[in-house]
Structure 1
Amino acid sequence: MGFSASHICFQAGSKAILDDVTVQVQPGEMVAVLGPNGAGKSSLLKIMAGEQRFFSGQLHLNGRHYGDWSAGEIARMVGVLPQSSELVFPFSVAEVVMLGRLPHSTGRVRDREIVSQALQLLDVAHLSEALYPALSGGEKQRVQLARVLAQIWEPCPAGERFLLLDEPTSALDLSHQHQTLEVARRLSRDGAGVLAILHDLNLAAQYADRIVLLGGGRLVAEGTVDQVLVPEQIRALYDIDVTVMRHPRENRPLVVTL
């Protein structure tokens, strides 16, 4: 069981965006995908989310080929938070989060309970009646994550749940960056698999179980935080001098630029 993308190749015109990339996430783990701009991170996530079909390679979800599942089944197992979500209709925040319950038939009472819990978890319950287009960028990001969490809130009879996050902390202040990744990690501890594209190496070191490092559309490294976040590898990929030390309070690496 799990969610895997195997030997993925993807081109835009004559340019190779992804070249023989294999990534998998298992239930109960949080995987961070790192790499410089143009590494192919977002393209990989779009392929795994079913948004990009013109690629070669294989996707498998919970022991079956991705295409063998119906769209409804996938929606109940896989939640996707894109980099940005455009929504110009004057929906309230609660209505936006309720959209996450569309794949389900659990009834309005239970759906409202889930929406309320998701709003509280992402610290946006006080905005439930506010109009979504009037929110700040960070508030919109948290509301959209609440919507995605509402979509995969409960275990699914069809198979394990997975959460795909494309730069979920990009519009957030420091406090909400940690809150968002803590929520994602908590979901993984509850049995879901989480794959998150991140830019901050130290956030990845703090929250991820494994790290996948992409560079130039290829898989550069994959492994535990300690295996991947080493100075030589970071220096070669990002073209910057760093040192990696142990965090003063936590047993994890801390990347410091020189």
Structure 2
Amino acid sequence: MLKVTQLSYQHQRDTLLSDITFDLLAGELLVVLGPNGAGKSTLLKCCAGTLKPSQGSIHLNNTTLEQWPLNELAQSRAVLTQQLSIPFALRVHEVVSLGLSPWSLTIKEQDKAITDVLNMVGMAHFSDRVFNSLSGGEQQRVQLARVLVQLLAHGEQDLTGKLLFLDEPISALDLQQQQIVMRLLKTMTERGMSIFCVLHDLNLATLYADTLLIIERGETVYYATPSKMHHTSVVENTYKADLIQIDHSEKPLPQWQFRH
């Protein structure tokens, strides 16, 4: 699906990413973790094609990003950055409709696609509200619906070949909505979608991710399944935090608590 090989990125004289290599398979949720300034958002932008790497290669379905026709790429790959604001008085359904720009759909097809994704994120009842009147968490869910509709425009069940990039998609959400969104992402991967997701919440990441990629100062410090983090000091060494590693009560997965 997505193959990243020896990717590096320099800005002026600063090396922000160095020799990053990983694969993102069909139906996989890859969660990227790391301290502030580690290079997570820069890595996402390089892999999504919005920044050009200084070195290395990125292949999507065995084709480099540069070789993809722009409209075909937009139909296969969607990107949600941390920037949520919109400088216009658009209504919620109008914001979501922006995700349909790569597609030629009838009005009826557009309305159905928009309603479907708004239902997925629990925002259908806000369809006619002005986007900028919503809370930060509500805006985040609408923006998630926008990138989802870009990949789900035709409502197909098999999402193999679809790639979703998310940069901290639950940062403004309460606990219930965090759980709803993470479960929704797992539902998408079960249908074949590949998801590259930047998170800060270690416990949610280990609970829902198929694979974790932890970076520090632009370099890979961990790339494996969450279960392999048991009895390692990767998290403590990377985040420089005083933590206790425990087991999840229902799954054989590590979780972390702060020491008092």
> With structure 2 as the length reference, what TM-score do the two structures score?
0.94
Contact 1:161 1:193 in 2 (8 A): yes
Q: Which moved more, 1:21-30 or 1:222-231?
A: 222-231
1:121-159 residue CA offsets vs partner (Å, 9 max, x unmatched): 101111100011111111110000001000001459997
* 1:195 match: 196
* 2:48 match: 49
Contact 1:211 1:228 in 2 (8 A): no
State how far apart, in whole Å, the 1-side matches of 2:44 and 2:242 are. 29
- SS of 2:3's partner is strand
State how far apart, in whole Å, the 2-side matches of 1:239 and 1:16 are. 22
Gaps of 5+ in 1: none
* 2:38 match: 39
2:178 corresponds to 1:177: yes
* 2:61 match: 62
Shift of 1:119: 0.5
State how far apart, in whole Å, the 1-side matches of 2:195 and 2:144 are. 13
Matches within 5 A, 1:1-258: 2-153=1-152, 154=155, 160-228=161-229, 230-258=231-259
Shift of 1:171: 1.0
State how far apart, in whole Å, the 2-side matches of 1:237 and 1:172 are. 25
**Residue identity matched to 1:210:** T
Cα gap change, 1:158 to 1:34, in 2 (>3 Å): closer
> With structure 1 as the length reference, what TM-score do the two structures score?
0.94
> RMSD across aligned C-alpha pairs, in angstroms?
1.8
Contact 1:17 1:40 in 2 (8 A): yes
State how far apart, in whole Å, the 1-side matches of 2:115 and 2:61 are. 29
1:18-60 residue CA offsets vs partner (Å, 9 max, x unmatched): 0111122111110110111111100000111211125221110
1:50-105 residue CA offsets vs partner (Å, 9 max, x unmatched): 11125221110011111111110111111111012331111110011111111112
Number of corresponding residues:
257
Contact 1:231 1:244 in 2 (8 A): no
Cα gap change, 1:190 to 1:40, in 2 (>3 Å): same
Q: Which moved more, 1:86-95 or 1:148-157?
A: 148-157
State how far apart, in whole Å, the 2-side matches of 1:209 and 1:158 are. 17
State how far apart, in whole Å, the 2-side matches of 1:71 and 1:228 are. 39
Contact 1:10 1:56 in 2 (8 A): yes
Contact 1:31 1:194 in 2 (8 A): yes
Contact 1:246 1:253 in 2 (8 A): yes
Cα gap change, 1:112 to 1:87, in 2 (>3 Å): same
Gaps of 5+ in 2: none
Cα gap change, 1:60 to 1:54, in 2 (>3 Å): closer
Q: Which moved more, 1:198-207 or 1:230-239?
A: 230-239
**Residue identity matched to 1:124:** M
Shift of 1:252: 2.1
